[in-house]
Amino acid sequence: MLKIRQSGFTGPVWAVNPRAEEVAGEPAYPSVTALPQTPDLAVLAVPPEAVPGVAEDCGRAGVRALVVLASGLDATQARRLLHSCRRHSMRLVGPNSLGIAQTDPAVRLDAEFGGAFPVPGSAGVAAQSGGVGIALLERLAWLGIGVSSFVSLGDKYDVSGNDLLQWWEDDQRTDLALLHLESFGNPRAFARTARRVTRTIPVLTVDAGRSAAGRRGAASHTAAAATPTVTREALFRQAGVTATRGISELVDTAALLHSQPLPGPRGAVAVVSNAGGIGILAADACVEAGLSVPPLPDDVTAELAALLPPAAGTANPVDTTAAIGPAELLACVELLTRSQAVDALLVCLVPTALTPGADQDLLRTLLDGPARRRVPVTAVMLSQEIPTRCRPCADGGQLPSYADPTAAARALAHALDRARWLAEPPGVEARAADCDPDAARQLVADFLAAEPDGGWLDPARTARLLSCYRLPLTPSVLASDEAGTMAAARSLRGAGHEGKVVLKAHVPGLVHKSVSGAVRTGLADESEVRTAYREFAERFGDRLAGVLVQPMAAPGLELLAGVVQDRVFGPLVVLGLGGTATEVLDDRVARLAPLTEADLTTMVTELRSAPLLLGRPGFPGVDLTAVGRTLAGLSRMATDLPEVAEADLNPLIASPDGLACVDARVRLRPAAGFDPYLRQLRRPPATPTEEER
C-alpha cells in the first residue's frame, strides 16, 4: 500500500481491511464492495484461508484482476480461488507471488514487495521464484537496463510466462524479455508463442533444474513435475529462446543483446588487447564458448601492422602492446569492425605499467564513438570491480563491458545462437511422404482394445506400424523351430551383406541381447545357421520363444532414432549415436514434434559426432537424405499417434548408401491429456462442490 503510493502510482488506491480503520496511514474500507469505485486490480495480502472469500468478493464487485501473495493454499482453497476467477473472468497472478510492477510513466505502479522501486527501463521480467525475481531486478538496475514491467509469477495458477510474452510482444517499452521458469503448464502453447515473439525481441531464460539435484529442488519447490533437461533444451532451442545457466549469465547476455547488434552467423571474433596475456585468455574463452577466433586475412594484418607498434601481434588475437594510444586503438577498432572477415569484436583492456589509467582512457575513446557499429563490440575491463556494466556512449547508446573475458565470450556465443536462429528459415513442417496414418491408427486401436493398459508391440506389429511411416526396418522372419529358421535363412540370404544372415534369440524379458549370447551375426551357410539355432536352443531352453532371422546389414555407423512422449511436453523426436560405447558418451539431440524441414538438418549438425555423419577426408559420411526421411517419419508418427509412448530404432546402421534399422521397439499406451494435477489447477471443475458455493 505504502509502496504503491510512494511509487507515484497515477491512479486511485484504496485499502481494504474489515478490522482496521487505517492501513499505512490511509483510511481502510471494510470490504471491496464498500469502495467508492470498482478497482481494476486487487492485491490480496491476506492469509491462505481468507483468499477464496476475498477473491469471490472481488469477482462479484467486478474487479478484473487479482494478485495473490499468500503461499501454501490447500487443494480446496486453490479450487475455490480458481473457480471465482473463472466465474467472474478475473485474471490471476500467483498465488505465492511477490507482486507486479509497471514502470510506464503513465502508470508507475509498484505493487510488489521485493525491495526498491524497479528502475524504469526496457526489460520485461517474469520470474517463478520470488528470490530470483528480486535478484534480476537488482542486477538490471545496476546494469542500467532497467525494467518495463515485472511479474512475480509464483505458482502460476493462471497468468504464466506465456501470457507475459504475448503482452511484451506488443509493448513498445519492452525490447527484451527475461523469464525464470521452473515448470511448464502448457509447453506447446509456450513454444508457439515464444517462437513468434523471439523473431521480434530476444527472449532469455534461466534454465533451472538441469541436474537431478536441481530437479529434486524444483519438484519440492513448485509442486509441479520437473522436466528432463533434454526436453527443456529442445523446447528452448526450437522456440529460439536464449537459455542461460544462471542469473549472472542471463544478465551478462541481456547486456549485450540490449545494446549491440547481433554478430554475423559465422561467429568469427576478433580479439584485441593491450596486454598479450589477456588476449590469449580471451581467445581461449571465445573458442570454448563456441565462437571462432580465426587468423585475420593478410590485408587486414598488413593494415594493422602499419597502425600498431612494431612489437604488436597482428594475428588474431591482436596484441596492441601497452604502448598504444587512444587514436591507434580507435583506428584498429574501425579497421576490424569494417572488415568482412570479422563478425564481432572483443576489446580487452588492462591498466598498463606505462600510464596510470591508460585502460580508462582507451575505453573513453570507444565510448566517444558510436555505440552500435556494423558488428557487436564488447569491452573487457580487467580493472572493473563490478562484473558487468552497460557503459553509456556519447550518442546515447551503450557499450557492454565485462570484468571477465569468459562472461563476454559466453554472452557473444548466445548472441550468435540467436543470429543463427533468426537466419533459419521459419519452420515448415517436415514432409513425410506416402504415409498411411489410417492403417497405423487401426493397428493401435486393435492393440489397445486387446491390451487396455498398453505394452510393447511384438516384432511383426512393430514392423507393420513402422512401415506405415516408411521407416526402414530390415525385413525379418520370426521362426518358431529349426526348420522354420533354416527356411527363413534361405529366403533372406540374398538380401544380406555378402549373402549372410543374422539370428536373434527371442527370449521375453532378456535385456542385453548382445551380451547374453542371443545374437549371432555373419552366418554364411546352412551349417552355420543350424549350429547357431542349436546353440540358442541349448542355452535358453524353454525360454526361447522363437528365433528372428534377418539379412545381415552392411557395416556402417550405428545410430539411434526414436520418439519419447513427455507427460507435459508431448512427443519428442531423438537422434543420437547408437551402440554400446556411445550410450555412455550420450551424444543425442532432441526436438519437440512436429519437426520442421530445418530440424532435419540441424539435428544432425548439432550432434558432437556430426563429422561422422557428414563425412570428412577419407570417410564418406552417411546417407543424410535417409536420416532426414527417418526423422520426418518419426515426427509424423508421433504427431498422428499420441498413443506411442516410446519408439526406439536402435541400431540404425547408416552407410553412404542408406540406413538399415536392424532392431526396433514400440510401446503403446492409452493417450492421455495433460498431467491431471496441472489440469486440475488450470481448469477448475465447471460445477463447484457444495462447500465452494
Of the residues 122, 274, 378, 476, which one makes contact with a second copy according to CB under 8 A: 274
* 685 binds a second copy, rule: CB under 8 A: no
Could you tell me which of 230, 205, 203, 204 has the C-alpha nearest to residue 215?
230
Nearest distance in Å: CB 238, a second copy: 22
Of the residues 192, 245, 364, 683, which one makes contact with a second copy according to CB under 8 A: 245
Nearest distance in Å: CB 136, a second copy: 9
Nearest distance in Å: CB 369, a second copy: 23
Of the residues 18, 522, 676, 685, which one makes contact with a second copy according to CB under 8 A: 522
Nearest distance in Å: CB 314, a second copy: 8
Nearest distance in Å: CB 231, a second copy: 16
What is the b/e burial string over 155-166, where b = at least 16 CB atoms within 10 angstroms of the residue's CB?
A: bbbbbbbbbbbe
Could you tell me which of 675, 631, 676, 670 has the C-alpha nearest to residue 654?
631
Of the residues 17, 166, 248, 365, which one makes contact with a second copy according to CB under 8 A: 248
* 322 binds a second copy, rule: CB under 8 A: yes
Footprint (CB under 8 A) of a second copy, residues 527-566: 557-558
* 633 binds a second copy, rule: CB under 8 A: no
Which residue, 98 or 492, is less far from a second copy as judged by CB? 98
Which residue, 563 or 607, is less far from a second copy as judged by CB? 607
Contact 594, 429 (CB under 8 A): yes
Phi, psi angle pair for 86, to nearest 5°: -65, -45
DSSP string spanning 609-620?
Answer: THHHHH-BTTB-
Footprint (CB under 8 A) of a second copy, residues 221-240: 221-222
Nearest distance in Å: CB 265, a second copy: 19
Which residue, 275 or 563, is less far from a second copy as judged by CB? 275
Which residue, 493 or 636, is less far from a second copy as judged by CB? 493
Which residue, 322 or 416, is less far from a second copy as judged by CB? 322
CA angle (432 as vertex; 426, 438 as ends), nearest 5: 125
* 515 binds a second copy, rule: CB under 8 A: yes
Footprint (CB under 8 A) of a second copy, residues 280-309: 280-281, 283-288, 292-295
Q: Could you tell me the maximum CA-CA distance found in the chain, to the nearest angstrom? A: 100
Distance CA 447, CA 169 (A): 46
* 47 binds a second copy, rule: CB under 8 A: no
Of the residues 64, 108, 210, 539, which one makes contact with a second copy according to CB under 8 A: 210
Nearest distance in Å: CB 390, a second copy: 14
Amino acid type, 106: A
Nearest distance in Å: CB 540, a second copy: 17
Of the residues 278, 548, 552, 600, which one makes contact with a second copy according to CB under 8 A: 278
Total Cβ atoms within 10 A of residue 94: 28
Nearest distance in Å: CB 502, a second copy: 14
Contact 619, 625 (CB under 8 A): no
Judge if the upstream peptide bond of residue 48 is cis by omega within 30 degrees of 0. Answer: no
Which residue, 234 or 595, is less far from a second copy as judged by CB? 234
Residue 596 DSSP one-character state: B
Nearest distance in Å: CB 227, a second copy: 13
Which residue, 607 or 637, is less far from a second copy as judged by CB? 607
* 677 binds a second copy, rule: CB under 8 A: no
Which residue, 211 or 625, is less far from a second copy as judged by CB? 211
Footprint (CB under 8 A) of a second copy, residues 187-206: 206
Q: Cα–Cα distances in Å, from 310 out to 294, 303, 321, 325, 331?
A: 22, 12, 9, 14, 16
Total number of residues that touch a second copy (CB under 8 A):
103
Of the residues 7, 102, 122, 128, which one makes contact with a second copy according to CB under 8 A: 128
* 7 binds a second copy, rule: CB under 8 A: no
Contact 174, 123 (CB under 8 A): yes
Nearest distance in Å: CB 102, a second copy: 18
Q: Cα–Cα distances in Å, from 195 out to 105, 169, 226?
A: 30, 11, 22
Which residue, 486 or 612, is less far from a second copy as judged by CB? 612
Nearest distance in Å: CB 438, a second copy: 39
Of the residues 122, 227, 259, 316, which one makes contact with a second copy according to CB under 8 A: 316
Mode of pairing for the β-strands spanning 65-68 and 41-44: parallel
DSSP E strands, 94-169: 99-102, 109-112, 120-127, 147-152
In angstroms, the first-to-last Cα distance of the chain is: 31
Which residue, 20 or 354, is less far from a second copy as judged by CB? 354
Nearest distance in Å: CB 492, a second copy: 19
Look up residue 69 and give its three cell numbers: 501473495
Amino acid type, 470: R
Look up residue 311 and give its three cell numbers: 612489437
* 131 binds a second copy, rule: CB under 8 A: yes
**Residues in Cβ contact with 524 at an 8 Å cutoff, skipping those fewer than 6 apart:** 498, 499, 500
Footprint (CB under 8 A) of a second copy, residues 565-624: 577, 579-582, 584-585, 587, 608-609, 611-612, 618-620
Total Cβ atoms within 10 A of residue 434: 8
DSSP string spanning 208-257?
Answer: ---SHHHHHHHHHHHSSPPPPHHHHHHHHHHHT-EEESSHHHHHHHHHHH
Which residue, 148 or 274, is less far from a second copy as judged by CB? 274
Interface map 373-412 toward a second copy (x if CB under 8 A): ---------xx-xxx---------------xxxxx-----
Nearest distance in Å: CB 310, a second copy: 8
Total Cβ atoms within 10 A of residue 141: 18
Nearest distance in Å: CB 346, a second copy: 11
Q: Give the SS3 label for residue 606.
A: coil
Footprint (CB under 8 A) of a second copy, residues 133-192: 134-135, 138, 142, 180, 182
Nearest distance in Å: CB 405, a second copy: 6
* 524 binds a second copy, rule: CB under 8 A: yes
Nearest-10 crossing angle of helices 276-289, 405-423: 40
Phi, psi angle pair for 507, to nearest 5°: -120, 100
What is the CA 46 to chain-centroid distance, rounded? Answer: 36
Footprint (CB under 8 A) of a second copy, residues 56-95: 71-72
Which residue, 432 or 613, is less far from a second copy as judged by CB? 613
Burial category of 230 from C-beta neighbours within 10 Å (exposed 0-12, middle 13-18, buried 19 and up): middle
